[in-house]
Amino acid sequence: MPLLSHLEELRKRLLISVIAVLIGAIVCWIFYPQILEELLRPYCEIRASASSENAFFGQNCDLLVTDPLEPFSVRMMVAGYGGLVIAIPVILWQVWRFIAPGLYPKERRWAVPLVLLGVFLFVAGAGLAYWSIPRALDFLVSIGGPDLVSVFSPTKYLGFIVKMTVAFGVGFEFPLILVMLQLAGIVSHNTLRRGRRYAVVGVVALVAILTPSGDPLTLMILSVPMILFYELSILFGRLIERRRNRVSLDSD
């Protein structure tokens, strides 16, 4: 397609993705109380397991609001990120539809499996983040010593939880992005193999930026799977090249 057609196609895919995020945000706005209850669960866990009764300020799992507008902004934040999470299948499908015209007919059969894999990877990453959040919070609370009393505000705490969960989910999409780039012919497995050393450093740096906690435990939990995914994407790229070479020989 000419350049203008590509831009028009890109605009169409972006518009559909934005609409999907907005619909998901409306759903999360409606079910905000139930979502909030789940997001508070890690905080309740570390409060219950705290070694000192004075480690946290206040009773139960309450968060301290210091701004009249904070409840509204928190609900907007949760709805926005929640909408992004719900719209992940639609976004992945639109990405695939954008690159599909440049693929061989046999490669287009990967559409549904890759989109389902992308959804699975996102859910797996978000689930891993949710599992590691109590451990990260416990590390962050205890690292300052027993003389510090923790007081969490909704914006800081929920922002930490939501951003960390989304960061893990997006991070687990890393191999899928590499596979799509190889299918589209933008990069090759040889390029990825030669850049392996730089990729490891880049992955660690990217994880340090994406994860809001910055603690070494969270850094390791997300970095190791992403490095393994990088190696798997190289293996997948080799299979793609072999299949393309076989198709070229058959056509000759």
**Per-residue pLDDT, 75:** 94
Partners of residue 88 on adjacent β-strands = none
The per-residue pLDDT for 28 is 95
Q: What is the pLDDT of residues 30-58, one digit of tens each?
A: 999 999 999 988 888 887 776 555 566 66
What pLDDT shows up at residue 214? 61
Q: Residue 150: what pLDDT?
A: 77
* Nearby residues of 62 by Cβ (< 8 Å), 6 or more positions away: none
Q: Give the pair of three-digit tokens for residue 228.
A: 């393994």
- Per-residue pLDDT, 247: 64
Nearest to 137 by CA among 64, 205, 224, 44: 44
Q: What is the DSSP string of 144-155?
A: T-TT--B---HH
- Start-to-end Cα distance in the chain: 26
The answer, as to whether pTM is greater than 0.85, is no
Contacts of 134 (CB under 8 A, 6+ apart): 42, 45, 46
Q: What pLDDT is recorded for position 250?
A: 60
Question: Which parts of the chain sit beneath pLDDT 50?
Answer: none
Longest dimension (CA), the chain: 76
72-88: pLDDT as tens digits = 999 999 999 999 999 99
Map residue 56 onto helix, strand or coil: strand
